[in-house]
Amino acid sequence: MIQFIAVRLAAFVPTLLAISAVLFLAINVIPGGAAQASLGIKATPQAIARFNREHGLDRPLPEQYVAWLGKVLQGDFGKSLQSGTPVGPELLVRLALTLELAILAFLIANLIAVPLGCLAAYHHQRAADNAFIFLATIMGALPNFWLATLLILFFTVTLHWLPPGGYVPFVEAPLENLSLMLMPAISLGVVSSALLLRIMRTGMIEVISSDYIRTARAKGAGQGAVIWRHALRNALIPYLTVGGVEFSLLFGGVVIVENIFLLPGVGQLALIGISQRDYPLLLASVLLIAVVVLSANLIVDVVGAWLDPRRVRTVRSA
Amino acid sequence: MMPAPATLVRIPWRRVGLLSIGATLTIVLLLVALFAPWIAPFSPYEINVPERLQPPGAVHWLGTDELGRDTFSRTVFAARISVQVAAVAVGIGLLGGILIGLSSAYFGGAWDMIFMRNMDLLYAFPAVLLAIVIMAGLGTSMVNAMIAIGIIFIPGYARLSRATAQVVLRQPFIEAAITIGMSTPRILFREILPNIATPLMVAGAIGFAYAVLVESALSFLGLGAQPPEPTWGEMINSGRGQMTNAPWLGIVPGAAIFLSVLGFNMLGDGLRDFFDPQLRD
């Protein structure tokens, strides 16, 4: 197990380096945008050249990348091209919000997917099963930003139950924080529960038809005990892997949903970075999300190995 | 009189039902996109301020927006952009994915490792976010949206092509093809490709659904086709400002996205069930 974790940790660093290189390249494919955005359309070529020299944008890309990476490794994420303030501290403050949103959304996704997936498997090939599969198909086709719009229309505009957006830190006012986070988390969570529900159902159907479950039934275990006590742990193994991927995918939606509900998170910062062509801002926020995503995948791998020790062996023999 | 014979062939409703609903929704979307100028009663660009924010009615079936433009017509024309972007993006993704996946499976070794490591890397990263980053680099336009979405599809299709091609490669007829001296491109594209076409087709249909979602997400954020070009994402975004007095502006384009995505997803699922009933449950 320790060896397994060590192997995964060793893979973490090169993966992150490669992702950072991909992101850096993708953002800098077309040179010169930042100066134009910062100085305006009427900027003289001299002013643009000066801006580029000051910010090191006139050097070759690989050189820029190495310089940027060197600073990042020292914890310096650079300064915003627009405001001139360091990006790092700002990011850390925003990370708390983004993580809270992603975790709440993931929680909601699982609260929908696990029970309904188990129920669907339990009623395999009967009406209830078909109904849950249909529900998953519906949820999977909803764009999260449309769901968010509909939630605002219903709960804010029509019923006046929930505020349309804004943010208060959890430590200051927990209840208000949750009421502000509820709609964003639902719009993300419902959409990601679609795939999870299907995976839960398929995994559960497979486990229910296995020999040890038949034995448990033969020994007189009730239906509830069979599903929740005996089958769930094994059915969760394939579920967990997909869950890890789904958690990563949530961060794509975070950018959009933070924007809708005026949540000052990392995703919103990334968007500001794009609209103002503030590349240090954009790069740092996306890199931070990459770190979070990779860490989540690492944790999922380790928990998966703990649930299913067979996995550790395959890694060792590979 | 003989009793009517019991139905000998039971129609597998779940199998055909999914496929036919999916195919119907998809065909409707394609027809709307193709014949938009004939279907839409108004121009999608025509500003008509006196008629602004009209609720759905006899003249403007789905109402008008804050500039008096007809919501139904704009929704119909936006279907064109969604279909175009999705088609090109899935095309780029399939082309890149098949080339990388097939060659990785066939040549193996270092080639395989380098390519697939990179694919795994991209696969682990949230696709929408990657598309946003690529758009930031390329600049916002419809063509760039096609490229960005196409690129984020490559890893998934590459992994699928590689995995299915590896199964085909173990078959005796590939060995025979190598033995008789068939050229490598011919083995790849004439022998292997037709045998992995079915799963790729299914993935293509589901990719179409995802492309429509990502395109509308990008245009929602203002990173897709630029106004006054109507896109579903941009329509929802500007409609959000009118939620209290004109809720249809946010509802209608979203429903169009939802039905399109639902159609492609059901088509994909239906095709999979149809070609490979074993995969079902």
Q: Do A152 and B240 touch (CB under 8 A)?
A: yes
In B170-247, which residue ranges form alpha helices assigned H by DSSP? 172-179, 184-186, 197-220, 232-239
Name the residue of chain A whose CA is nearest to B252's CA: A146
Mutation to test the B interface, candidates A29, A64, A146, A248, most B Cβ within 10 Å: A146
Q: Encode B40-70: b = buried (16+ Cβ within 10 Å), e = exposed.
A: bebebeeeeeebeebeeeeebebbbbbebbb
Give all strands (DSSP E) within A114-196, no chain letters. Answer: none
Q: To the nearest whole angstrom, how far is the Cα of B174 from the nearest Cα of chain A? A: 27
What confidence tier does B280 reach under pLDDT thresholds 50, 70, 90? low
Q: Do A157 and B244 touch (CB under 8 A)?
A: yes
Task: Report CA-CA distances (Å) from A100 to A97, A170, A223, A258, A265.
Answer: 5, 9, 36, 12, 10
Quote the CA–CA distance of A112 and A257 in Å, as a whole number.
Answer: 20
B64 bridge partner residues:
B70
Q: Give the mean pLDDT per block of 10 residues along chain A (318 residues).
A: 81 84 80 68 78 77 84 82 83 92 96 93 87 92 95 91 87 90 95 92 88 85 79 84 86 92 92 84 89 86 79 53
A126 neighbourhood in chain B, CB within 8 Å: none
Mutation to test the B interface, candidates A130, A134, A137, A145, most B Cβ within 10 Å: A145
Point out the least confidently predicted range of A281-285, B94-98, B215-219: A281-285
What is the overall mean pLDDT for chain B? 88
What per-residue confidence (pLDDT) applies to B13?
64
B247 neighbourhood in chain A, CB within 8 Å: 153, 157
Q: Do B233 and A145 touch (CB under 8 A)?
A: yes
Q: To the nearest whole angstrom, how far is the Cα of A160 from the nearest Cα of chain B? A: 12
Name the residue of chain B whose CA is nearest to A25's CA: B137
Q: Do B266 and A15 touch (CB under 8 A)?
A: no
Q: To the nearest whole angstrom, how far is the Cα of B135 from the nearest Cα of chain A? A: 8
Q: Which two tokens stand for residue A53?
A: 């020299």
Q: Do A153 and B135 touch (CB under 8 A)?
A: no
What per-residue confidence (pLDDT) applies to B3?
53
Digit-coded pLDDT (tens) for B97-112: 999 999 999 998 888 8
pTM listed for this prediction: 0.89
What per-residue confidence (pLDDT) applies to A151?
94
Q: Which two tokens stand for residue A110?
A: 């699982």
B139 neighbourhood in chain A, CB within 8 Å: 30, 33
- Ranked by mean pLDDT, the top range of A22-31, B70-79, B126-135, B222-231 is B70-79
Digit-coded pLDDT (tens) for B158-178: 999 999 999 898 889 988 998
B128 neighbourhood in chain A, CB within 8 Å: 249, 252-253, 255-256
Residues listed for chain A: 318
